[in-house]
Structure 1
């Protein structure tokens, strides 16, 4: 991989190296999403990268259409407000016809056994008498997301690596059967990012879909609400500010959040604080300042629907330009058209 300089003087990868990442609108964007992924996309992304809101993936379980549409727009606005290149951002459903066509071709390339052995399907369907068919087939849709855009790399955690491997299997099988059409993607481990835990229960990750929002800081929370949530964060009765994730997970979570916002070491921060009250107050103010500009820019975009629609349409057009020839080739070589 050759180095160069991208927009704003950022290091960039070889122009032909495409990296694809997505975020699902299952709930409002929260602090963990921002510190762990979105902020990195804005800082490290290249002109060739693909970032999309995977609203089709949010339909594998019961959902409210109006809420899904609103969350999709919110996530699009957050990505743009955070500094992700608008030309690299799109909404998955804006390519629903193209994705639908390729998903069908790939489903005709995939076996039932390959889909049914996906770990997430096994876990989410276990003990349930009825699940949506999309829960079984959405890894094939994910393969279509990846292959349609010609992605070389897909940064994923362990829970999604198996799905990228399925995309590789299907690409290899299609290319070997009908002819070379698809790039062979590979999963890559994302750079180490902030590990943001739930403020009310630091044994679990902060999540968009948590039933109790008391432990989740959302990007669009008001500064006062952010302060209240962090000041109510669970700590312990030890009473010592030290970075000890195993024995003091609540304190460690606040230190890691503070470290992510200030680019300092958690141990260094701990040594400078006298008690839990100061830790919470310092962390709260750091988060408020970290999110302030993003929250304000996001709200401005949401208040200007015409501009957001323009950005969305432009992103969709660029995605279509990137993938149209690949879909045409896949359809033609598999005997369609």
Structure 2
């Protein structure tokens, strides 16, 4: 494990992880393991900010762990742990909420606006303060870079602001992190409403493809995916977002370049393109699910316990310093 730079990222164990989650974030993690100290969390406390079932949450925590492993994250190279198993996360979140986080900033967070909608007066406080806990997740490990999907970039910017305010008040205490957002595939869109991000919490299951979807079901979703007016295959994310989204999925899962795909499909229709894309998705899912199914719950639990020990050691050292800095020790 290279100690030159620390990378931190995490996934919330709620809903089915989609190919959008994989392409936008998780797929870039394995290649970072040989370059940096990588810490990847299952951020389960973030999952309880909205309605959930405890039994479902327990299942999802192990599922996400196995997805990490199936994606190529190696517990010998990276720390994989469950957020709630390291209590320093919530302790630091409280401190940051008192020393660096402004209500005005939290009100600007687009994810809170999207999830709360018109019911902002009846949602739990945790949904509002979610970004502060995310900041604690990141700052606790002196993280220098955070690989995230495009939708989380705003939260990393807030984390930077919180770190700077804390450092200005108490002296150098936290590393100010940067977001790493991939150039292509950072935001995979819905298959049914391509102006919206593909979401694992969407009510219409045809709008997303889960990493654990039945293969034939996934192929049907691709064939049903909306396309734009016109018949030629070209890439135009502004005027033809549906086709641009499908081309991006094809390129990312098929390891192809979009300009080459456009050239290869000149003179061919949507039907042939989508049929080929369905096969690309099917091959990816088959390979991924074979790896996933070969990982037992017992193995996943062992990985989480080992990761807890490693993450706890780092978190405890950091919090000893922070407690002294703020005057409670």
TM bucket by the smaller chain? 0.7 to 0.9
Q: Which residue of 2 aligns with 1:193?
A: 184
1:68 corresponds in structure 2 to: 57
Q: 1:325 aligns with which of 317, 322, 328?
A: 317
Please state whether the residue corresponding to 1:84 is helix, strand or coil: coil
What are structure 2's unaligned runs of at least 5 residues? Answer: none
Distance 1:167 1:203, change over 3 A: closer
Inter-CA distance 182–280: structure 2 relative to 1 (3 Å threshold): same
Residue 286 of structure 2, aligned match among 292, 296, 314 = 292
Q: Could you tell me how far 1:177 is from its partner in structure 2?
A: 4.5
Q: 1:49 to 1:282 in 2, by over 3 A?
A: same
Match of 2:32 among 36, 44, 49: 44
Whole-Å Cα distance in 2 between the matches of residues 206 and 159 of structure 1? 11
Answer yes or no: is the 8 Å Cα contact 1:115–1:137 preserved in 2. no
2:274 matches 1:280: yes
| Compared CA separation, residues 258 and 171, structure 1 to 2 (3 A) | closer
For residue 247 of structure 2, the aligned residue among 248, 255, 280 is 255
Q: How does 1:166-245 map to 2 (within 5 A)?
A: 166-178=158-170, 180-183=172-175, 185-194=176-185, 195-236=187-228, 238-245=230-237
- The structural deviation recorded for 1:241 is 2.7
Within 2, Cα distance between the matches of 1:237 and 1:170?
Answer: 45
2:83 to 69, 92, 95: 92
3-state SS in 2 of match to 1:154: strand
Contact 2:7 2:144 in 1 (8 A): yes
Q: How many aligned residue pairs are there? A: 321
- Give the distance between the partners of 2:116 and 2:235, measured in 1 at CA: 38
Would the aligned equivalents of 1:155 and 1:188 in 2 still touch at CA under 8 Å? yes
Higher relative contact order (CA 8 A, sep 6+): 2
Structure-1-length-normalised TM-score:
0.85
Alignment CA distance shift 1:232-1:136 (3 Å): closer
Structure 2 distance, partners of 1:320, 1:63, is: 27
RMSD: 2.5
Go from structure 1 to structure 2 and tell me whether the alpha carbon gap of 1:244 and 1:133 turns closer, same or farther (over 3 Å shift).
closer
Any idea what SS the aligned residue of 2:178 has?
strand
- Which piece of structure 1 moves more, 205-214 or 286-295? 286-295
Equivalent runs, 1:2-17 vs 2, <5 Å: 15-17=3-5
What secondary structure sits across from 2:16 in the alignment? coil
Residues 172-231 of structure 1 deviation map (CA, whole Å, 9 limit, x = unaligned): 444454554432x23324121324222222222211111101121111112212211112
CA displacement at 1:34 relative to structure 2: 1.2
Map 1:56-135; keep pairs closer than 5 Å. 56-86=45-75, 87-95=78-86, 97-110=87-100, 113-114=103-104, 116-120=106-110, 121=112, 124-125=115-116, 127-128=118-119, 129-135=121-127
Q: C-alpha separation between the residues in 2 aligned to 1:284 and 1:251?
A: 14
